[in-house]
Amino acid sequence: MELIDILNYSVAFFTIYTTVFFLLLFFKYKKDYYTTPKWSGNTPLVSIVIPAYNEEKYLKKCLDSILTLDYPREKLDVIVVDDGSTDRTATVAKEYEKYGVRVFSKKNGGKGAALNYGIERARGEFIATMDADSYVTPKVLKELLPYFEDHEVMAVTPAVKIAPSNSVIREFQRIEYLMILFSRKLLSYLDAVPVTPGPFSIFRASIFKEIGGFDEHNLVEDQEIAMRIQQHNYKIRSSVSDDSTVYTEPPDNMGDLLRQRVRWQRGGIRNYWRYKFMIKPEFGNYGMFFIPLNFATLSAFFIVLGLLLNAIFNNPFYTRYILLESVVMSFNMFTVIGVFVLLMSFVWLYAAVSSFKSERIKLRYILLFMIFYWYLMVCYNVLMAVAEIRREKTSW
């Protein structure tokens, strides 16, 4: 057996093993998948810090959603940090001062700096960080706060989703967010949650005093803070219940989407390198499962890509059924594995989307996501990883 065959089968085995493992994990915890800890009825003071840079378009909807939270108004400490906006963000925010919202304006310094500015002025026992282009559903606090009954829990993440629309790009991202949410919930059973998402996450205020605030020079500060929490052997929990839903506004066009993914990818690579890919005892299951899960996704992509390229370029093109005949003519054990990986990838995607009963997604979007978008984004992320040769200024 040649070296390339050994590599192919090793990657295929690893991919299948990881995919099956997480599917079995879902079936094991399926009964508890939607449940949240019982709420004691306590209503501690909660600070909600909203950093904002040129967000006049979305800030009103964001603040309106906070004011309609099913939570005592006197137990909410809402802070908006205007990070040197050049539009009417500060003006819109000040309109809500009459409702008790505290508004601060500072020189532009990036999202991490704005978050820390607000956290330093927060009064709550718990601190929620929230993007200005997101909006919460009424019961989100009552759904998330009970997780903190476990004193080792330092952060809780909600069900971050994208609202349904008629836009193909938005629908693709909507599916992607559900897949990410599905994965994050399963990883929470392993104490391996990889990120405290920027649209909305709640932290125990004491954690910032112990490990410090957000990294102000990080491209994906919400991932880095999660890594630091894990490094200190604390827990992060994730909710997928409908009552914990937080909606966020995604990029509306391919250009903005790719720019966002460049930032995510480059920031992620730098964080992995900074923490030595989490393969250290203090990260526990976090490093054990998070990195393999990412590797499995890349492996599945290359297996399917290799299968198609082998079928297309190593066989005649003169038949009416080029692809079908090519696959048959190049049939071998690796072909079987490739097809199986493709099927398992679809099962994984379908399990993720169908686990959210309230989300209605058309089958054609799921199929197009699987065939086009998913592999396109994986390919793009690989290219960005290879091209990660320069430092970017931290920005919004």
pLDDT mean across residues, the chain = 84
The CATH number for 1-396, chosen from 3.90.550.10, 3.40.50.10320, 3.40.50.1860, 3.40.50.2300, is 3.90.550.10
Rounded to an integer, the average pLDDT of 367-381 is 77
Query: Does 244 score more than 70 pLDDT?
Result: yes
Q: Which residue do the tokens 């491209």 mark?
A: 219
Report how far residue 318's alpha carbon sits from residue 225's, in angstroms, rounded to the nearest whole number. Answer: 56
Confidence of residue 290 (pLDDT cuts 50, 70, 90): low
Q: Which stretches does DSSP call E strand in the chain?
A: 46-52, 76-83, 102-106, 126-130, 134-136, 153-157, 159-161, 200-204, 235-238, 245-248
Least confident of 87-101, 124-138, 169-183, 310-324: 310-324
Whole-number pLDDT of residue 338: 64
With CA atoms as reference, report the closest residue to 176 among 380, 392, 384.
380
With CA atoms as reference, report the closest residue to 234 among 136, 150, 302.
150
Residue range 303-353, pLDDT digits in tens: 555 555 555 555 544 344 444 444 444 555 666 666 776 777 788 888 889
Confidence of residue 276 (pLDDT cuts 50, 70, 90): confident
Instruction: Look up residue 39 and give its DSSP letter.
Output: P
Least confident of 121-130, 154-163, 294-303: 294-303
Residues 6+ apart with CB under 8 A from 64: 135
Number of H helices, E strands in the chain: 14, 10
44 in Cβ contact with 72 (< 8 Å): no
Three-state DSSP at 126 gives strand
Least confident of 11-15, 88-92, 320-324: 320-324
Instruction: Look up residue 70 and give its DSSP letter.
Output: S
Rounded to an integer, the average pLDDT of 49-78 is 97
Residues 6+ apart with CB under 8 A from 364: none
Model pTM score: 0.85
Whole-number pLDDT of residue 385: 61
Whole-number pLDDT of residue 262: 82
Higher pLDDT, 342 or 149: 149
